Structure 1
Amino acid sequence: MLTKVAPTVRQRATSLLRTIQNHSGNCPCHACTSSAIAGLGAVAARKLASAPPLKEYAFELAASNIRYGNGVTREVGMDFKNIGAKKVAVFTDSNILNLDPMKNAIAALESEGIQYEIFSNVRVEPKDPAVKEAIAWAKGYGADAYLAVGGGSVMDTCKIASLYESYPDADFLDFVNAPIGKGRPIDKKLKPLIAVPTTAGTGSETTGTAIFDLVSAKAKTGIAHRALKPLLGIVDPINTRSMPSQVKSSSGLDVLCHSLESWTAIPFNERVPRPTNPILRPAYQGANPISDVFSLEALKMTVKYLPRTVHDAGDVEAQEKMILAATLAGVGFGNAGVHLCHGLSYPISGMNKGYKHAGYQVDHSIIPHGVSVAVTAPQVFRFTGPTNPERHLIAAEIFGADITNAKAESAGEILGEAIQEFLLKLGDQPRGISDLGFTKDDIPALVEGALPQARVLMLAPNFQNEDDRKREDLAKILEASLTY
Structure 2
Amino acid sequence: MLEYPETPERIFTVEAVTLKYGRGALAEVGLEARALGMDRVALFTDRHLAETELVATVQEALKQAGLDVVLYDQVRVEPTDQSFQDAAAFARDGDFDGYISLGGGSVIDTCKAANLYATHPDDFLAYVNAPIGRARPVPGPLAPHIACPTTCGTGSEMTAAAIFDLTSSQVKTGISHRFLKPSRALVDPATTDTLAPGVIAATGLDVLTHAIESWTARPFTSRPYPENPAQRPPYQGANPWSDIGSLKAIELGGTHLPRAWADPDDTAARDALMFAATLAGMAFGNAGVHIPHAMSYAVAGLNHGYVARGYADEPPMVPHGLSVVVNAPAAFRVTARADPARHLEAARALGADTSNLPATAEAASEALAGRLIDIMRRIDCPNGLSALGYGEADIEALTGRAFQQQRLLAQAPLTVDAELLADIFRDAMTYW
Q: Check whether the contact 1:353–1:437 (CA below 8 A) recurs between aligned residues.
A: no
Identify the residue that residue 372 of structure 2 maps to in structure 1.
419
Q: CA deviation at 1:431?
A: 0.1
Identify the residue that residue 71 of structure 2 maps to in structure 1.
118
Matched residue of 1:120: which SS? strand
Identify the residue that residue 181 of structure 2 maps to in structure 1.
229
Identify the residue that residue 377 of structure 1 maps to in structure 2.
328
CA distance in 1, matches of 2:353, 2:115: 48
Identify the residue that residue 95 of structure 1 maps to in structure 2.
48
- Partner letter of residue 247 of structure 2? L
Q: CA deviation at 1:113?
A: 1.9
Map 1:300-339 → 2, pairs under 5 A: 300-339=251-290
- Partner letter of residue 349 of structure 1? A
Q: Check whether the contact 1:301–1:325 (CA below 8 A) recurs between aligned residues.
A: yes
CA distance in 1, matches of 2:230, 2:389: 42
Identify the residue that residue 65 of structure 1 maps to in structure 2.
18
Identify the residue that residue 88 of structure 2 maps to in structure 1.
135
CA distance in 2, matches of 1:296, 1:221: 27
Q: Check whether the contact 2:219–2:413 (CA below 8 A) recurs between aligned residues.
A: no
- Deviation per CA, 1:204-245: give whole Å up to 9, x if none: 111111111111221111111111111110110111112111
Identify the residue that residue 6 of structure 1 maps to in structure 2.
none
Identify the residue that residue 338 of structure 2 maps to in structure 1.
387
- Deviation per CA, 1:358-396: give whole Å up to 9, x if none: 211534111110001000111111001111010111111
2:393 to 430, 441, 447: 441
Q: CA deviation at 1:353?
A: 4.4
Q: CA deviation at 1:187?
A: 2.8
CA distance in 2, matches of 1:345, 1:196: 25
CA distance in 2, matches of 1:404, 1:194: 43
Gap change, CA 1:173 and 1:275, over 3 Å in 2: farther
Q: CA deviation at 1:461?
A: 1.6
Matched residue of 2:168: which SS? helix
Q: Are 1:160 and 2:113 matched, yes or no? A: yes
Q: Check whether the contact 1:245–1:311 (CA below 8 A) recurs between aligned residues.
A: yes
CA distance in 1, matches of 2:415, 2:357: 24
Gap change, CA 1:97 and 1:275, over 3 Å in 2: farther
CA distance in 2, matches of 1:353, 1:75: 38
- Partner letter of residue 248 of structure 1? I
- Deviation per CA, 1:1-48: give whole Å up to 9, x if none: xxxxxxxxxxxxxxxxxxxxxxxxxxxxxxxxxxxxxxxxxxxxxxxx
CA distance in 1, matches of 2:237, 2:14: 12
Q: Are 1:183 and 2:149 matched, yes or no? A: no
2:190 to 238, 246, 253: 238
Q: Are 1:450 and 2:402 matched, yes or no? A: yes
CA distance in 1, matches of 2:67, 2:283: 34
Identify the residue that residue 480 of structure 1 maps to in structure 2.
427
Q: Check whether the contact 1:268–1:286 (CA below 8 A) recurs between aligned residues.
A: yes
CA distance in 1, matches of 2:147, 2:395: 37
- Counting aligned pairs with the same residue, the percent is 45
Q: CA deviation at 1:54?
A: 5.5
State the TM-score, normalizing by the size of structure 2.
0.96
CA distance in 2, matches of 1:57, 1:422: 37
Matched residue of 1:97: which SS? coil
- Partner letter of residue 389 of structure 1? P
Q: Check whether the contact 1:210–1:222 (CA below 8 A) recurs between aligned residues.
A: yes
Matched residue of 2:305: which SS? coil
Stretches of 4+ aligned residues off by more than 6 angstroms: none
Matched residue of 1:173: which SS? helix
CA distance in 2, matches of 1:353, 1:136: 25
Q: Are 1:264 and 2:209 matched, yes or no? A: no
Q: CA deviation at 1:462?
A: 2.2
Q: Are 1:356 and 2:303 matched, yes or no? A: no
Matched residue of 2:159: which SS? coil
- Partner letter of residue 31 of structure 2? M
Q: CA deviation at 1:418?
A: 1.4
Q: CA deviation at 1:403?
A: 2.0
Q: Are 1:346 and 2:290 matched, yes or no? A: no
CA distance in 2, matches of 1:331, 1:109: 27
Q: CA deviation at 1:400?
A: 3.0
Q: CA deviation at 1:280?
A: 2.4
- Deviation per CA, 1:418-468: give whole Å up to 9, x if none: 1111211122x110101101110000000000011111100112225xxxx
- Partner letter of residue 184 of structure 2? L
Q: Check whether the contact 1:271–1:459 (CA below 8 A) recurs between aligned residues.
A: no
Q: CA deviation at 1:55?
A: 4.1
Structure 2 stretches of 5 or more lacking a match?
A: none
1:401 to 347, 352, 355: 352
1:471 to 409, 412, 418: 418
- Partner letter of residue 81 of structure 2? D
Matched residue of 1:205: which SS? helix
CA distance in 1, matches of 2:76, 2:38: 27
CA distance in 2, matches of 1:275, 1:138: 36
Total equivalences in the alignment: 425
Identify the residue that residue 461 of structure 1 maps to in structure 2.
413
Identify the residue that residue 22 of structure 1 maps to in structure 2.
none
Identify the residue that residue 76 of structure 1 maps to in structure 2.
29
Gap change, CA 1:68 and 1:216, over 3 Å in 2: same
Q: CA deviation at 1:53?
A: 8.4
The structure number with the bigger radius of gyration is 1
- Partner letter of residue 401 of structure 2? G
2:250 to 299, 302, 321: 299
CA distance in 2, matches of 1:281, 1:181: 20
Q: CA deviation at 1:402?
A: 2.6
